[in-house]
């Protein structure tokens, strides 16, 4: 995956058009096969759904589009919840583009949109504005006020309007468990980035703008790139082996990162502090994308700075070992995937 830098669209994003106002669609933005969903994380289950949508688009000589929402509906209905998203809107767009999506309809999820009933969503959004020539979605997709619309209702509408509706197969792992965003969230909260990778088909990552910190890391010989998680889920506090990406670096940079509130100094907002191996360059203000490869240990408070320095040295050694041992096995979808 390519890193994302604000203001610079990677090649895959440059090929995908993002539309946020359906009232101003051009004719060129209409007539696609549309995949429906939130696509948070863009995991293996989503990959299977998008593959089915690509096949339908090819059969109808149409382009592949995704219709999703920003912000996530849960943020509107449950604003007091802690951050839960696996991907920012920007990262989700990049991942969807990697799957061959040509148009992204990213609808602002406002109270007015949430008030649309199922019939209005079908007729006004899918038929009148998008002129969709096919729809693919999961069996648990709900739409319209009160979640009144479901796949059966949508299929009936499609049959009456020459718009085939495909219920995507449920993609399952070798144990028969469906791939889902909730599984990824739980794995990250349980300090199991390896389990998250099994579901995602890649290592989970977080992108942040590198901020000035208190320079404590530099003072003790371990300079760090510091950032915040923002609206994205914060994984289990602790120390991780990581790979980091910068926009102008062709290869990832190995390192170790601390996630949490730094018990020795008790910060109130969770942060990420990444120490990059064999790297000595100021990158303040740049975007760093960090992949969580392996969880090493929980956060801890040490008796003094010397004890902390000694532990960081041990962490770096363990991280190098974990990164050398890491494989891309989690990056490959099972063949053939189990379907339900």
Task: Give the domains, in start order, of the chain with CATH numbers.
Answer: 13-172 (3.40.50.620), 203-328 (2.40.30.30)
- For residues 88 and 205, give the distance between their C-alpha atoms in angstroms, rounded to a whole number: 10
Q: What is the pTM of this model?
A: 0.89
Q: Which residue from 53, 48, 138 is spatially nearest to 102, judged by alpha carbons?
A: 53
Distance CA 323, CA 55 (A): 37
Give the pLDDT score at 331. Answer: 47
The answer to whether the bond into 267 is cis (omega within 30° of 0) is: no
**Lookup result for tokens 């942060």:** 271
Q: Check residue 228 and give left, alpha or beta (phi > 0: left; psi -120 to 50: alpha).
A: beta
Phi, psi (5° rounding) for residue 125?
Answer: -80, -60
Distance CA 227, CA 284 (A): 10
DSSP 41-56: S--HHHHHHHHHHHHH
Say if CB 315 and CB 295 are below 8 A apart.
Answer: no
Q: How much is the pLDDT for 328?
A: 59
Task: Split the chain (340 residues) into runs of 10 and give each run's mean pLDDT.
Answer: 36 77 91 97 97 96 96 87 93 96 95 94 96 96 93 97 96 95 98 96 96 75 91 96 92 96 78 94 94 96 89 96 77 46
Q: Which pLDDT does position 7 carry in this prediction?
A: 34
Q: So what's the pLDDT on residue 243?
A: 97
Bridge-partner residues for 257, per DSSP? 240, 274
Q: Give the whole-angstrom CA distance, residue 236 versus residue 4.
A: 24
């Amino acid at each position: 995956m390519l890193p994302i830098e604000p203001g610079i669209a990677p090649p895959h994003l440059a090929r995908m058009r993002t539309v946020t106002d359906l009232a101003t669609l051009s004719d060129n933005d209409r007539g696609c096969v549309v995949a429906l969903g939130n696509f948070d994380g863009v995991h293996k289950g989503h990959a299977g759904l998008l593959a089915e949508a690509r096949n339908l688009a090819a059969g109808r000589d149409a382009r592949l589009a995704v219709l999703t929402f920003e912000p996530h509906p849960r943020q509107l209905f449950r604003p007091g919840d802690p951050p839960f998203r696996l991907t920012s809107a920007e990262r989700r767009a990049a991942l969807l583009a990697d799957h061959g999506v040509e148009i992204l309809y990213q609808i602002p999820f406002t109270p007015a949109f949430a008030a649309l009933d199922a019939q209005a969503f079908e007729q006004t959004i899918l038929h009148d504005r998008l002129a969709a020539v096919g729809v693919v979605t999961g069996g648990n997709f709900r739409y319209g006020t009160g979640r009144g619309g479901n796949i059966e209702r949508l299929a009936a509408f499609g049959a009456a309007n020459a718009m085939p509706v495909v219920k995507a197969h449920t993609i399952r792992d070798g144990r028969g468990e469906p791939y889902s965003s909730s599984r990824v969230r739980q794995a990250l909260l349980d300090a199991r980035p390896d389990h998250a990778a099994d579901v995602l088909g890649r290592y989970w990552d977080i992108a942040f703008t590198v901020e000035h910190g208190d320079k404590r890391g530099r003072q003790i010989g371990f300079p760090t790139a510091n950032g915040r998680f923002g609206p994205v889920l914060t994984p289990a506090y602790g120390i991780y082996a990581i790979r980091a990406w910068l926009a102008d670096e062709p290869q990832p940079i190995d390192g170790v990162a601390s996630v949490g509130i730094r018990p020795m100094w008790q910060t109130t907002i969770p942060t990420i502090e990444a120490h990059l191996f064999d790297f000595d360059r100021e990158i303040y203000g740049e975007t760093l994308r960090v992949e969580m490869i392996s969880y090493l240990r929980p956060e801890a408070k040490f008796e003094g700075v010397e004890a902390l320095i000694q532990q960081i040295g041990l962490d770096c050694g363990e991280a190098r070992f974990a990164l050398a041992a890491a494989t891309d096995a989690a990056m490959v979808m099972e063949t053939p995937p189990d379907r339900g």
